[in-house]
């Protein structure tokens, strides 16, 4: 009987302590104890004289286990088992001991011992039952805690993995950002080069015009100088002759010629200065600029420039300058470049139409200025417009003409930057840039600049 | 002799008037000025029967000297007036075109007035 109890206790210990996983060394002892107990249990049937001895051995084993359970902190979780078992085993032990020592006394009190044993047994079962329940609850709680911990661990590891991923992505993005920045830098450099190229291209267009424009005033300077030399000789002659009226007339001519020399000298000077301004790219500043003079200057330059390149080119040039247009605070070189660009485009448009061999077509380009009041405001605007009677701009192209690199010219003939740069310049001046066009009839580009 | 000078530069008038001061004074030469090809044609239309020598610049806005030359040589009744072309560039291309159109002589800018006088007197 006690052997069975021993086996039960061992089994119970093993299960509740989870010794298989938590206490492998103790587990060995438990398993061995169970095997030995089983063997002994089998032996006591075939070999009854052992029965008494085995009974006492079992007591010893159980007491030792109880002692261990109370003493060893490892067994703390199963203390309730000990409390459940102690009363029963003690009563049984005392009963058996009494039976051995004083059999008559035992027999006299057998009923008492039996009852005590019975209640102790009930007590044990109840304790085990309660304990089992508590243990299950605890187990459940522990399981939950374990699961929580597991979840926490999973989320921790996920978080770590995510952090690694984020770091990786960040690194990738940083790399991309850097390469994009490099690309942007390259693009900026290219843009600067292109703008420079466009400036140089328009300078090239201007050079021939400028040469012609300078040649004319220089011719006048030279010719009037020569004339004055002759007039001086005549003046001396007339002085000798004593013809004072003639002397006065010649002197008046000389004076007039000197004014002409000065005038044409200044004209050449202004052209050279304009050319220098056009090629210069920095140190630009706004200054009061006579819009009519500026428009006229670039009109002529553009015309002669184109004529120098293409001898067959010709067009009727109209200028309708508003005398009240006056001066405006602008970067003259920039606005000049815009006007030059618009006029060059206009010439190109009328020349293309002329080449198509239209009967009775007269290529005409008109540059006009106008001072007008801004709509609904007191401020005044200066309007500069360049109008041609070319083929106009097709609707499909119209919304692209201000885009950089858009050009309708054959490859290599236009940078596609003229209008986009012009647009930028006008916008930077706080102005407005408009285009009115009708297919087959021509186009008009209109610049509106605020006076103040 | 009646000379029509065609040039878009208006100061040419003053220059010629002073350069040919003596000739004008003596009535040896008479100068008329047109500041565009169109104006020159108008003048010629109104003065058809006067013996005219035309001195024309090539590079002018609007009607160029070459076009003017072409129109004069096409339209004007025989004998067509003498046309002397003046060019600032003095390049072969304009020279050939003008020759083909029947130009009688050429002068290059800057004008050598001594040479011009000699030429005019020879005509």
Does B39 lie at the interface with A, CB-CB under 8 angstroms? no
Q: Between B34 and A100, where is the model more confident?
A: B34
Instruction: With beta carbons under 8 A apart, name residues in chain B contacting A315.
Output: 61-62
Token pair in block for residue A383: 């309007």
Q: Cβ of A24: how many Cβ atoms within 10 Å?
A: 9
* A438 in Cβ contact with A388 (< 8 Å): no
Q: Between A378 and A429, where is the model more confident?
A: A429
Looking at CATH, the fold of the domain delimited by A284-452 is given as Heat Shock Protein 90 (3.30.565)
Does B24 lie at the interface with A, CB-CB under 8 angstroms? no
Q: Helices B11-19 and A244-279: crossing angle, nearest 10°?
A: 140
* A397 in Cβ contact with A408 (< 8 Å): yes
What does the pLDDT read at residue A255? 94
**Percent residues over pLDDT 90 in chain A:** 28
Least confident of A113-122, A134-143, A350-359, B72-81: B72-81
Q: Cβ of A204: how many Cβ atoms within 10 Å?
A: 11
Q: Where are the domains of chain A?
A: 2-157, 284-452
CB contact under 8 A, A224 and B15: yes
What does the DSSP 8-state code read for residue A269?
H
Does B119 lie at the interface with A, CB-CB under 8 angstroms? no
Beta strand pairing status for B52-57 and B82-87? parallel
Of A380, A366, A381, A330, residue with least CA distance to A445: A366
What does the DSSP 8-state code read for residue A344?
H
A399 pLDDT band (50/70/90 cuts)? confident
* A350 in Cβ contact with A390 (< 8 Å): yes
Least confident of A137-141, A253-257, A398-402, A412-416: A412-416
Report whether pLDDT(A366) > 60. yes
Token pair in block for residue B7: 């040039």
Query: From the list B19, B63, B109, which residue is nearest A215 (CB)?
Result: B109
CB contact under 8 A, A303 and B62: no
What does the DSSP 8-state code read for residue A280?
-
* A309 in Cβ contact with A208 (< 8 Å): yes
* A274 in Cβ contact with A175 (< 8 Å): no
Token pair in block for residue B65: 């000297």
Give the list of residues 6+ apart from residue A329 with CB closer than 8 angstroms, or none: A286, A287, A288, A289, A452
The chain-wide mean pLDDT, for chain B, equals 84
Does B10 lie at the interface with A, CB-CB under 8 angstroms? no
Q: Where are the domains of chain B?
A: 2-122
Report whether pLDDT(A348) > 50. yes
What does the pLDDT read at residue A150? 94
A282 pLDDT band (50/70/90 cuts)? very low
Across A39-53, A185-199, A280-294, which has the greatest mean pLDDT? A185-199
Question: For residues A321 and A366, what is the distance between their CA atoms, to the nearest angstrom?
Answer: 10
Least confident of A24-28, A73-77, A355-359, B17-21: A73-77
Looking at CATH, the fold of the domain delimited by B2-122 is given as Rossmann fold (3.40.50)
Would you state the torsion angle of the CA atoms of residues B88, B90, B91, B97, taken in this order, to the nearest 10 degrees? 90
- The vertex-A103 CA angle with A100 and A104, nearest 5°, equals 165
Question: For residues A108 and A91, what is the distance between their CA atoms, to the nearest angstrom?
Answer: 16
The strand pairing partners of A366, in sequence order, are A318, A387
- A331 φ/ψ sector (left φ>0, alpha ψ -120 to 50, else beta): beta
What does the DSSP 8-state code read for residue A223?
H
Lookup result for tokens 């060995």? A28
Question: For residues A17 and A155, what is the distance between their CA atoms, to the nearest angstrom?
Answer: 30
A141 pLDDT band (50/70/90 cuts)? very high
* A195 in Cβ contact with A282 (< 8 Å): no
By C-alpha distance, the chain B residue nearest A227 is B19
| Residue A49 CA, distance from chain mean position | 95
End-to-end CA distance of chain B: give it in Å, rounded: 9
For A93-127, give one letter per residue: b (16+ CB within 10 A) or e: bebbebeeeeeeebeeeeeebeebbeebeebbeeb
* A58 in Cβ contact with A6 (< 8 Å): yes
Q: Which residue in A209, A253, A311 has the most chain B C-beta atoms within 10 A of its own C-beta, making it the best mutation to test that interface?
A: A311
A98 pLDDT band (50/70/90 cuts)? confident
Report whether pLDDT(A252) > 50. yes
């Amino acid at each position: 009987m006690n052997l069975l109890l021993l086996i039960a206790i061992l089994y119970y210990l093993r299960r509740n302590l989870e010794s298989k996983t938590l206490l492998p060394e103790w587990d060995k002892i438990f398993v061995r104890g169970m095997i030995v107990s089983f063997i002994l249990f089998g032996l006591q049937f075939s070999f009854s004289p052992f029965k008494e001895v085995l009974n006492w051995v079992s007591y010893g084993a159980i007491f030792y286990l109880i002692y261990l359970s109370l003493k060893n902190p490892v067994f703390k979780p199963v203390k309730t088992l000990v409390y459940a078992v102690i009363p029963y085993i003690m009563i049984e032990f005392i009963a058996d001991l009494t039976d051995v020592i004083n059999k008559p006394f035992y027999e006299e009190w057998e009923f008492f011992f039996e009852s005590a044993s019975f209640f102790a047994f009930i007590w044990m079962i109840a304790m085990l039952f309660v304990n089992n329940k508590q243990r299950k609850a605890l187990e459940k709680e522990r399981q939950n805690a374990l699961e929580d911990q597991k979840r926490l661990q999973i989320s921790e590891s996920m978080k770590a993995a995510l952090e690694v991923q984020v770091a990786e992505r960040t690194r990738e993005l940083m790399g991309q950002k850097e390469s994009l920045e490099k690309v942007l830098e390259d693009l900026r450099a290219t843009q600067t080069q292109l703008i420079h190229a466009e400036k140089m291209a328009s300078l090239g267009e201007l050079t021939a015009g400028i040469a012609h424009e300078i040649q004319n005033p220089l011719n006048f300077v030279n010719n009037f100088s020569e004339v004055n030399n002759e007039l001086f000789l005549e003046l001396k002659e007339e002085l000798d002759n004593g013809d004072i009226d003639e002397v006065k007339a010649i002197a008046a001519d000389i004076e007039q010629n000197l004014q002409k020399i000065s005038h044409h000298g200044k004209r050449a000077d202004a052209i050279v200065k304009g050319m220098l301004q056009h090629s210069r790219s920095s140190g630009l500043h706004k200054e009061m600029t006579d819009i009519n003079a500026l428009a006229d200057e670039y009109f002529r330059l553009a015309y002669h420039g184109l004529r120098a390149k293409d001898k067959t080119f010709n067009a009727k040039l109209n200028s309708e300058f508003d005398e009240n247009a006056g001066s405006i605070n602008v970067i003259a070189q920039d606005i000049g470049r815009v006007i030059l660009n618009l006029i060059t485009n206009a010439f190109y448009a009328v020349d293309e139409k002329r080449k198509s061999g239209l009967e009775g077509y007269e290529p005409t380009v008109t540059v006009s200025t106008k001072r007008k009041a801004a709509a609904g405001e007191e401020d005044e605007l200066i309007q500069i417009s360049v109008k041609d009677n070319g083929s106009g701009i097709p609707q499909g192209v119209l919304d692209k003409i201000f885009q950089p690199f858009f050009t309708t010219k054959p490859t290599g003939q236009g940078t596609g930057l003229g209008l986009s740069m012009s647009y930028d310049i006008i916008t930077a001046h706080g102005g407005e840039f408009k285009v009115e066009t009708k297919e087959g009839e021509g186009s008009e580009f209109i610049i509106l600049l605020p006076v103040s | 002799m009646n000379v029509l000078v065609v040039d878009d530069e208006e100061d040419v008038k003053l220059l010629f008037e002073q350069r040919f001061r003596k000739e004008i004074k003596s009535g040896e030469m008479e100068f008329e000025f047109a500041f565009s090809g169109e104006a020159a044609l108008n003048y010629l239309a109104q003065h058809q029967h006067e013996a005219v020598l035309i001195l024309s610049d090539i590079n002018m806005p609007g009607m160029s000297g070459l076009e003017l030359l072409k129109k004069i040589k096409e339209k004007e009744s025989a004998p067509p007036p003498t046309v002397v072309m003046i060019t600032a560039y003095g390049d072969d291309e304009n020279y050939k075109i003008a020759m083909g159109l029947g130009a009688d002589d050429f002068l290059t800018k800057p004008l050598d007035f001594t040479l011009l006088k000699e030429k005019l007197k020879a005509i």
